[in-house]
C-alpha cells in the first residue's frame, strides 16, 4: 500500500513513523513517504501520486485547504473546517476528503478527562486553521459551551457564526478573554491552545483563575512550541497536555479509513513520547 504526507515544509513530520508503526501492528506492507510540495505545485503532485496507484495521503500545513478543494467528496468535518488532513483515492480521479484532527482531539481528551469534552465549558484560544479543525467535533462531542478568543476578534466571530448550529459558541478578543475581571465565562473546565504563538516561544498570558478546579490546559502544539505553556501550567499547578496524543489519534483515524484496521494508538504514543519528550 502506497501512502504519503504532503506538506511544505514536511521533513519534521512524525506521520511516516506513526503510520509505519500502525502497519507493523497488522503485518501490512506499507510505503509511507514525506513529500514536500509548494502550494503552486501541490495539485499536480497530488494528481501524479494518485495516478501512481497510491491509496491516499495525509496533508499538513499549508496545504490542507487546497486538499479539501481538490476532492470531489468530503466529510462534514472537512467542509466545516474548509480543510482536509486526509484524502482517500477511491480511484485515480475520485477523491474523498476528511478531516480527522477534531475527532483525534476528542479521542485524546477522552483519554485524559472522564467523558472527554462532554459537559465541559471550553475556552478555545485562537481562531485559525487549527481551531477550525477542532471546533465542530468538540461541540458534537457534547461540550456545554465554547468561548473562542482570538487576537483578531473578527476571525473568532466568523468561526463562532459558522458553528452556531452545533451549540453555544461565544467569542471575544484575546485580551478580553484572558483578563480575570472581564473573562466572559470563566472558570473553564478545558482551555485549548490552538494559536501558533508558541512557535515564537510565547505562551498566552493566562491567569490561574481562568481554570476551574481539576481543569485541563490542552495545547494542540507539541515539542518546543508547547514548552512555554507547559512551564506556565507546571508553575501554576494546572494540568497540561500537549498535542502529541491528538497527532497519533488523528493518524489512527486516517489509517482506519485507508486500511479498515483500527490501530492501537496508545502503544505508538508511548513509543513516540519516549523520543519527543
Ligand atoms: P493554524 O493553521 O496553525 O491555526 P493560522 O490559520 O495562521 O494557523 O492561525 C494562527 C492562529 O494563531 C490565529 O488564531 C492567530 O491569531 P490572528 O487570527 O489574530 O492572526 C494566532 N496567533 C499567531 N501568533 C500569535 C501571537 N503572537 N499572539 C496571539 N495569537 C497569535
135/217 same-domain check: yes
51/180 same-domain check: no
111/214 same-domain check: yes
Mean pLDDT of the chain: 95
Mean pLDDT is lowest, of 174-183, 190-199, 200-209, 236-245, for 174-183
120/236 same-domain check: yes
CA distances to 38, 49, 93, 254 from 144, in Å:
40, 42, 41, 28
39/170 same-domain check: no
Q: Give yes or no for residue 158 CB within 6 A of ligand 1.
A: no
Mean pLDDT of 97-103: 98
User: To the nearest whole percent, how much of the chain has pLDDT over 70?
Assistant: 98
pLDDT digits (tens, 9 = 90+) for 211-259: 999 999 999 999 999 999 999 999 999 999 999 999 999 999 999 999 9
The pLDDT score that the predictor gives to residue 180 is: 64
C-alpha span between 214 and 150 (Å, rounded): 24
Residue 199 pLDDT level (bands cut at 50, 70, 90): confident
Q: Give yes or no for residue 124 CB within 6 A of ligand 1.
A: no
In angstroms, what is the span from residue 133 Cα to ligand 1's centroid?
14
The pLDDT score that the predictor gives to residue 200 is: 80
Question: Which of ligand 1's atoms lies nearest the C-alpha of 194?
Answer: 4
Q: Give yes or no for residue 195 CB within 6 A of ligand 1.
A: yes
117/80 same-domain check: no
Supply angle C-alpha 4, 246, 169, rounded to 5. Answer: 120
DSSP conformation class of 238 = -
Q: What are phi and psi of 63, to 5 degrees?
A: -110, 5
238/258 same-domain check: no
10/138 same-domain check: no
Is 2 among the residues known to form the active site? no
Residue 60 pLDDT level (bands cut at 50, 70, 90): very high
- Name the grid cell of 168: 453555544
pLDDT digits (tens, 9 = 90+) for 141-162: 999 899 999 999 999 999 999 9
Give me the CATH number covering residue 160: 3.40.50.720
Protein residue whose Cα sits closest to atom 26 of ligand 1: 197
CB atoms within 10 A of CB 227: 17
- Rounded to a whole number of angstroms, the CA Rg of the chain reads 18
The pLDDT score that the predictor gives to residue 87 is: 98
- Name the grid cell of 71: 476532492
What's the total number of domains in the chain? 2
pLDDT digits (tens, 9 = 90+) for 164-177: 999 999 999 998 88
Give the mutation target among 82, 125, 126, 132 for probing the ligand 1 site: most ligand atoms within 8 A of CB.
126
Tell me: pLDDT of 203 over 80: no
226/252 same-domain check: no
Tell me: pLDDT of 18 over 80: yes
Tell me: pLDDT of 16 over 90: yes
The pLDDT score that the predictor gives to residue 277 is: 75
155/82 same-domain check: no
Tell me: pLDDT of 181 over 70: no
73/120 same-domain check: no
C-alpha span between 17 and 20 (Å, rounded): 5
ipTM field: 0.97
Bridge partner residues of 56 (DSSP): 88
Please identify which residue in the block is written with the cell numbers 490542552. Answer: 218
206/264 same-domain check: no
State the catalytic residue, choosing from 51, 64, 110, 202.
64
Mean pLDDT is lowest, of 14-28, 54-68, 263-277, for 263-277
Give me the CATH number covering residue 78: 3.40.50.10860
Instruction: Note down the domain range covering 164.
Output: 102-242
Residue 182 pLDDT level (bands cut at 50, 70, 90): low
Residue 205 pLDDT level (bands cut at 50, 70, 90): confident
Contacts of 18 (CB under 8 A, 6+ apart): 247, 248, 251, 268, 272
CB atoms within 10 A of CB 46: 25
Give the mutation target among 195, 222, 228, 247 for probing the ligand 1 site: most ligand atoms within 8 A of CB.
195
Amino acid at each position: 500500500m502506497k501512502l504519503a504526507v504532503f506538506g511544505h515544509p514536511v521533513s519534521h513530520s512524525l506521520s511516516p513513523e506513526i503510520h509505519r508503526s500502525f502497519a507493523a501492528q497488522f503485518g501490512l506492507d506499507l510505503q509511507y513517504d514525506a513529500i514536500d510540495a509548494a502550494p503552486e505545485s501541490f495539485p499536480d503532485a497530488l494528481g501524479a501520486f494518485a495516478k501512481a496507484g497510491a491509496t491516499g495521503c495525509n496533508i499538513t500545513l499549508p496545504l490542507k485547504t487546497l486538499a479539501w478543494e481538490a476532492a470531489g467528496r468530503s466529510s462534514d468535518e472537512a467542509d466545516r473546517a474548509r480543510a482536509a488532513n486526509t484524502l482517500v483515492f477511491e480511484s485515480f480521479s475520485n477523491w474523498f476528503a476528511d478531516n480527522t484532527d477534531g475527532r483525534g482531539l476528542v479521542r485524546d481528551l477522552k483519554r485524559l478527562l472522564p467523558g472527554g469534552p462532554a459537559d465541559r465549558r471550553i475556552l478555545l484560544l485562537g481562531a485559525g486553521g487549527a481551531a477550525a479543525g477542532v471546533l465542530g467535533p468538540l461541540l458534537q462531542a457534547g461540550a456545554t459551551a465554547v468561548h473562542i478568543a482570538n487576537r483578531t476578534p473578527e476571525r473568532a466571530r466568523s468561526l463562532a457564526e459558522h458553528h452556531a448550529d452545533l451549540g453555544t459558541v461565544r467569542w471575544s478578543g484575546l485580551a478580553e478573554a484572558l483578563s480575570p475581571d472581564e473573562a466572559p465565562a470563566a472558570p473553564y473546565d478545558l482551555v485549548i491552545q490552538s494559536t501558533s504563538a508558541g512557535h515564537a516561544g510565547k505562551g498566552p498570558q493566562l491567569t490561574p483563575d481562568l481554570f476551574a478546579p481539576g481543569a485541563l490546559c490542552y495545547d494542540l502544539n507539541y515539542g518546543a512550541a508547547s514548552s512555554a505553556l507547559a512551564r506556565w501550567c507546571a508553575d501554576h499547578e494546572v494540568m497540561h497536555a500537549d498535542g502529541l496524543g491528538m497527532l497519533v489519534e488523528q493518524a489512527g483515524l486516517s489509517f482506519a479509513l485507508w486500511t479498515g484496521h483500527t490501530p492501537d494508538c496508545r502503544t505508538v504514543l508511548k513509543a513516540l513520547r519516549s523520543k519527543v519528550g
